[in-house]
């Protein structure tokens, strides 16, 4: 990790540690912690990290922004930080300046489509859009007769049906009925919905990997405290091996997610090798979330199944994040098709391309 | 945070990609010349001494070792590229693989200078084959229960006892083995074993082949009867083998051979389903490729850490744990996915033959070179659980 990534990541870590301590926010039922946290993140320039200075952001590198997302995952942060970063990044692709405040992106699923009508308005439906209910603006990728466009939309102009994901965070259905955007510009050449989904998927992969690091950490600590049958449960080989498997899943998620982030941060085009990196990250991190969350709960026993305990903050969010920007099943089908289309003898050259 | 596991993304530098092209061209020539068939992992005799010499001539053995011993002072990442390309092509690496990966580095660290000057250049030329003498009839994973004795005599040691499951002992020129020089102490049950370099094909050593469930005979029983080892073939500290064993593990456990052993069935599955797979096949292949890609990135990351002079023992154990479980399951997953492949797929017979061999190979993958149970114990220790 470069020095500058460290500084940005440390800034984020410090804000989360001060204002988003899991135990504190878990017992705060009215969500009073959210406003101070968001303000601190905003003052540090993190929500618009990926927006260049001249478009209203703080102009951090892609790598620096990714390190913030890893930290956000480790704290299972329940404010639209990742979403606002993605929205700012999407708008910046078309050189649209970012407004202040919370944002989100639509569509958030590869199956949903927003269409740019001939009269310049937007139509369509997007399901499972994270934090739309609290967003002031929505960055939209819309298809049209002349290819994809990127638009900034006032959230108040869109019909929003509230929903919740597994982790209890807003995950809403948006209906665009001839919505006039605040600004709209053509997407750059080569940029399409797949690129947006891959970027969103990598963001979620980093968050899942971060949550798994925390699951491992608190599970190991708990096993070294909890006594059963007159010894710490960490001394039972069955428990040790379960935690070793959790470490393996956490490691796999970390490696897959950071590798994909590195590929984006240092890549130039959305080619097959990049597709392999980003799709694999979402697939493997989602698989790790399933296996890892199950072990973390098993180690904790009944206490981990309670609302009072912090474990669910990580396990349920990691499981929920699997669904955003294409599930592991979706990306597996797409990756499988790509591999098959390239043919058997081109599989290894693809895998060994970096 | 409890466990700061590191898997930093490593991008292979340009010299690696140039090298990869050279290795692929070399292997294509060897295949064209009939040295081996990349579609036939289950050939009867995997020993290929001439191939081994040609690999040595190319400078692909002892790649990371000092030039004065015949090495090439290249990086672990370059060695990684050569290893993975050979493995994926099913090249016959048996004769040189152990010497290059494991035995050479041990000699570099612990052997006297004249022994290094004698043996290391021959490993680099692909002329010598090594075996590893660890397991005994009553000590496998419990390495430090080994009983084969090395008794001090004039100018050396006399060896008596039996090693077992010794891969390649029937073709090996040398073995690096641990023998008991003292009984264990009350305080340290690992005390009392010493590492030795053993010259094979000598009187006093009898090698008995053991048939495996795959139909191959790649491991053996090795019986020592008053076999003499000179003093200068002792490696490292007397009674102190336990201190020397652990640092080798990162080299041994994290390489591409720990997840590519059954890779060929995946390639053949992709060929069998064709360019337009149904959803079931596509999803199955996509998941397997994502898992493979992830393990490779983890394994390359460990190679990068080795290059940086670190000893990522826990990370390496994780790679081997996940990698060997995956390569063990792979033929079964491929069998599932191949269930609806058209009867007339052109490579159907090849795939079926490969699956039969891979499924029979699978059980050993989580046993050899450190069982899953041993690896998870090491990971648990790294997590602070024991």
**Partner-chain contact A241 B373, CB within 8 Å:** yes
Place of tokens 């669904």: A323
**Distance between CA atoms of residues A41 and A81, nearest Å:** 8
pLDDT over 90 percentage in chain A: 95
Q: Which of A247, A288, A290, A296 should one mutate to test binding to chain B, selecting the residue with the greatest count of B CBs within 10 A?
A: A247
Q: Which of B2, B7, B315 sits opposite A221 (nearest CB)?
A: B2
Q: What is the pLDDT of residue B1?
A: 45
- The strand pairing partners of B160, in sequence order, are B149
Residue A243 with chain B: CB contacts under 8 Å: 380, 383, 385
**Partner-chain contact B284 A336, CB within 8 Å:** yes
Residue A25 has pLDDT above 60, yes or no: yes
Residue A333 with chain B: CB contacts under 8 Å: 279, 282-283, 286
Residue B266 with chain A: CB contacts under 8 Å: 347
**Partner-chain contact B383 A280, CB within 8 Å:** no
Q: What is the pLDDT of residue B366?
A: 96
**Partner-chain contact B11 A252, CB within 8 Å:** no
Residue B143 contacts residue B163 (beta carbons within 8 Å): no
Instruction: Tell me the ipTM for this assembly.
Output: 0.97
Q: Which of A75, A231, A251, A274 should one mutate to test binding to chain B, selecting the residue with the greatest count of B CBs within 10 A?
A: A251
**Partner-chain contact B1 A217, CB within 8 Å:** yes
Residue B270 with chain A: CB contacts under 8 Å: 339-340, 343-344, 347
Place of tokens 């809403």: A172
Q: What is the pLDDT of residue B346?
A: 86
Q: What is the 3-state secondary structure (H, E, C) of B12-71?
A: CCHHHHHHHHHHHHHHHHHHHCCCCCCCCCCCCCCCCHHHHHHHHHCCCCCCCCCHHHCC
**A104: which residues sit within 8 A by CB, 6+ positions away?**
A80, A83, A84, A86, A87, A129, A130, A131, A132, A135, A138, A139
Residue B4 with chain A: CB contacts under 8 Å: none
**Partner-chain contact B285 A335, CB within 8 Å:** yes
Q: Which of B1, B282, B290 sits opposite A284 (nearest CB)?
A: B290
pLDDT tens digits for range A188-247:
999 999 999 999 999 999 999 999 999 999 999 999 999 999 999 999 999 999 999 999
Q: Which of B85, B298, B375 sits opposite A252 (nearest CB)?
A: B298
- Count of CB contacts below 8 A, A vs B? 182
pLDDT tens digits for range A283-338:
999 999 999 999 999 999 999 999 999 999 999 999 999 999 999 999 999 999 99
**Partner-chain contact A255 B298, CB within 8 Å:** yes
Residue B88 with chain A: CB contacts under 8 Å: 348, 352
Q: Which chain A residue's Cα is nearest to B265?
A: A344
**Distance between CA atoms of residues A131 and A142, nearest Å:** 19
Nearest CA distance, A181 vs chain B (angstrom): 37
Q: What is the pLDDT of residue B253?
A: 79
Q: Which of A241, A252, A340 sits opposite B270 (nearest CB)?
A: A340
**Partner-chain contact B377 A1, CB within 8 Å:** no
Q: Which of A245, A280, A333 sits opposite B294 (nearest CB)?
A: A280
- CA-based Rg of chain A, rounded to a whole angstrom? 20
If 0-12 CB within 10 Å is exposed, 13-18 middle and 19+ buried, where does residue A279 land? Answer: buried
What is the DSSP secondary structure assignment for residue B248, as one 8-state letter?
G
Residue A335 with chain B: CB contacts under 8 Å: 285-286, 289-290
Residue B282 contacts residue A340 (beta carbons within 8 Å): yes
Q: What is the pLDDT of residue B33?
A: 96
Residue B277 with chain A: CB contacts under 8 Å: 336-337, 340
Nearest CA distance, A260 vs chain B (angstrom): 9
Residue A344 with chain B: CB contacts under 8 Å: 267-268, 270-271
**Partner-chain contact A255 B287, CB within 8 Å:** no
If 0-12 CB within 10 Å is exposed, 13-18 middle and 19+ buried, where does residue A90 land? Answer: buried
**Partner-chain contact B289 A335, CB within 8 Å:** yes
Nearest CA distance, A265 vs chain B (angstrom): 11
Residue B172 contacts residue B261 (beta carbons within 8 Å): no
**Partner-chain contact B283 A276, CB within 8 Å:** no
| Residue-by-residue pLDDT tens, chain B, 386 positions | 455 788 999 999 999 999 999 999 999 999 999 999 999 887 666 789 999 999 999 999 999 999 999 999 999 999 999 999 999 999 999 999 999 999 999 999 999 999 999 999 999 999 999 999 999 999 988 888 999 999 999 999 999 999 999 999 999 999 999 999 999 999 999 999 999 999 999 999 999 999 999 998 999 999 999 999 999 999 999 999 988 876 666 667 789 999 999 999 999 999 999 999 999 999 999 999 999 999 999 999 999 998 998 889 899 999 999 999 999 999 999 999 999 988 888 899 999 999 999 999 999 999 998 899 999 999 999 999 98
Q: What is the pLDDT of residue B44?
A: 60
């Amino acid at each position: 990790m470069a020095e500058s990534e460290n500084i940005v990541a440390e800034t984020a870590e410090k804000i989360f540690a001060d204002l988003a301590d899991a135990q504190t926010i878990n017992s705060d039922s009215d969500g009073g912690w959210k406003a101070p946290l968001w303000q601190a993140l905003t003052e540090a320039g993190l929500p618009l990290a990926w927006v260049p200075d001249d478009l209203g952001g703080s102009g951090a590198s892609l790598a620096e922004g990714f390190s913030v997302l890893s930290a956000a995952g480790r704290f299972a942060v329940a404010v639209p930080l990742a979403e606002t970063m993605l929205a700012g990044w999407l708008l910046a692709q078309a050189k649209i300046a970012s407004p202040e405040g919370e944002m989100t992106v639509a569509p958030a699923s590869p199956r949903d489509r927003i269409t740019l009508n001939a009269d310049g308005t937007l139509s369509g439906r997007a399901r499972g859009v994270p934090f739309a209910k609290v967003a002031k603006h929505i960055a939209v990728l819309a298809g049209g007769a002349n290819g994809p466009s990127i638009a900034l939309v006032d959230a108040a102009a869109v019909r929003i049906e509230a929903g919740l994901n597994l982790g209890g965070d807003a995950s809403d259905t948006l209906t665009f009925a001839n919505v006039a955007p605040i600004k709209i510009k053509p997407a750059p050449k080569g940029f399409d919905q797949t690129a947006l989904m891959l970027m969103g998927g990598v963001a979620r992969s980093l968050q899942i990997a971060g949550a798994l690091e925390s699951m491992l950490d608190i599970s190991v600590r708990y096993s070294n405290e909890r006594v059963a049958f007159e010894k710490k449960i960490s001394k039972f080989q069955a428990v040790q091996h379960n935690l070793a498997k959790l470490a393996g899943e956490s490691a796999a998620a970390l490696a897959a997610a950071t590798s994909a982030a590195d590929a984006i941060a240092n890549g130039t085009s959305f080619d097959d090798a990049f597709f392999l990196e980003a799709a694999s990250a979402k697939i493997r991190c989602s698989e790790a979330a399933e296996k890892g969350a199950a072990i973390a709960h098993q180690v904790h026993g009944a206490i981990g199944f309670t609302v009072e305990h912090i474990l669910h903050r990580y396990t349920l969010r990691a499981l929920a994040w699997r669904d955003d920007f294409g599930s592991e099943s979706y990306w597996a089908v797409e990756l499988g098709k790509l591999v098959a289309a390239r043919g058997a003898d081109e599989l290894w050259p693809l895998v060994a391309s970096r | 945070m409890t466990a700061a596991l590191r898997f930093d993304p490593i991008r292979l530098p340009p010299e690696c990609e140039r090298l990869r092209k050279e290795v692929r061209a070399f292997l294509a020539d060897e295949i064209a010349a009939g040295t081996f068939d990349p579609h036939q992992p289950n050939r009867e005799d995997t020993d290929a001494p001439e191939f081994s010499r040609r690999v040595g001539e190319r400078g692909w053995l002892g790649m990371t070792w000092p030039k004065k011993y015949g090495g090439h002072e290249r990086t672990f990442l370059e060695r990684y590229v050569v290893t993975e390309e050979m493995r994926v092509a099913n090249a016959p690496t048996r004769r040189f693989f152990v010497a290059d990966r494991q035995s050479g580095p041990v000699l570099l660290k612990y052997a006297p200078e004249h022994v290094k000057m004698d043996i290391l250049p021959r490993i680099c030329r692909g002329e010598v084959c090594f075996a590893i003498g660890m397991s005994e009839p009553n000590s496998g994973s419990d390495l430090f229960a080994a009983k084969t004795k090395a008794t001090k005599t004039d100018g050396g040691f006399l060896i008596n006892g039996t090693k077992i499951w010794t891969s390649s002992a029937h073709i090996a020129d040398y073995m690096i083995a641990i023998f008991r020089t003292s009984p264990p102490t009350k305080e340290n049950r690992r005390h009392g074993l010493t590492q030795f370099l053993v010259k094979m094909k000598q009187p006093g050593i009898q090698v008995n082949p053991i048939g495996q469930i795959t139909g191959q005979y790649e491991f053996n029983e090795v019986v020592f009867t008053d076999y003499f080892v000179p003093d200068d073939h002792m490696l490292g500290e007397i009674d102190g083998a336990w201190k020397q064993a652990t640092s080798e593990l990162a080299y041994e456990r994290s390489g591409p051979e720990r997840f590519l052993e059954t890779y060929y069935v995946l390639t053949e599955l992709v060929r069998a389903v064709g360019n337009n797979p149904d959803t079931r096949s596509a999803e199955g292949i996509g998941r397997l490729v994502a898992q493979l890609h992830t393990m490779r990135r983890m394994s390359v990351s460990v190679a990068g850490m080795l290059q940086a002079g670190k000893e990522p023992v826990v990370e390496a154990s994780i790679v081997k744990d996940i990698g060997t479980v995956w390569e063990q399951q792979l033929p079964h997953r491929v069998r599932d996915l191949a269930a609806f492949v058209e009867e007339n797929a052109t490579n159907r017979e090849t795939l079926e033959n490969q699956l039969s061999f891979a499924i029979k190979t699978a059980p050993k993958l989580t046993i050899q070179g450190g069982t899953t149970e041993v690896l998870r114990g090491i990971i648990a220790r790294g997590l602070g659980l024991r």
